[in-house]
Amino acid sequence: MLLASWNLAGRVKRLPEQADALLELGADVLCLQELTRSTLPRWLTLLQDAGYCAIEHGELPTAGRARALAVLTASRSPLHAVLVDGMPWPERVLAAHMSDGTEVLNVHSPISPKPDLIKVRTHEALHRHLADHEPGYARILCGDLNTPRKEHPDGTVWTFARDRYGRLRPDRGERWDQAELALLRGPAKSLLSCGS
């Protein structure tokens, strides 16, 4: 299976260029992040015309956030969307079971400054979902996790809970640090992670 993951960055003017580049890949599965109210309908049409028979996407909220963003997963073979419990912004996470049993999780994590620990709660819910793994099928986590802050040559990772010197920030703390690290470090046996 060839899977491509791409953060579209909500771009409207560059949509034709992005579509040409992505469709040229001939991927079996496309995981797109940062679709907007204006770009989502256009992507749906382009993907259907390109032969993607199964397309699932997050439902954009009608009110509450000025710039709501959704994820979309398109497949050339059947897929079935699966609920990920506890998502504060459910349009940002889409889990789908492919016809071969593989589960693909397409994520666009909120950026750190968003209120109400949205990023932390998103990562915690994703980790719970991944930890509840039934043996016998593969899982792929892809998209834009908006982490880590820094990766060192020795393998040390600093999350956005840390400042530029690696110190834990008092306003973010240990819970924040652990929520980001949970998706980067485990459960390693059942998680293949790729970024955009």
pLDDT tens-digit series, residues 104-116: 999 999 987 888 8
Q: Is the pLDDT of residue 158 over 60?
A: yes
The residues, any chain, with a CB within 8 Å of residue 153's CB and separated by 6 or more, are none
Please report which confidence band the pLDDT of residue 135 belongs to, taking 50, 70 and 90 as the band edges: low
**What CA–CA distance (Å, rounded) separates 166 from 46?**
44
Q: Is the pLDDT of residue 188 over 60?
A: no
CATH topology of domain 3-195: Deoxyribonuclease I; Chain A (3.60.10)
Domain-by-domain residue ranges, the chain? 3-195
The residues, any chain, with a CB within 8 Å of residue 178's CB and separated by 6 or more, are none
Please report which confidence band the pLDDT of residue 11 belongs to, taking 50, 70 and 90 as the band edges: confident
For the chain, the average pLDDT equals: 88
Q: Which long-range contacts (CB under 8 A, 24 or more apart) does 10-17 make?
A: 10/34, 10/35, 10/36, 10/39, 10/67, 10/69, 11/39, 12/36, 12/38, 12/39, 15/39, 15/42, 15/43
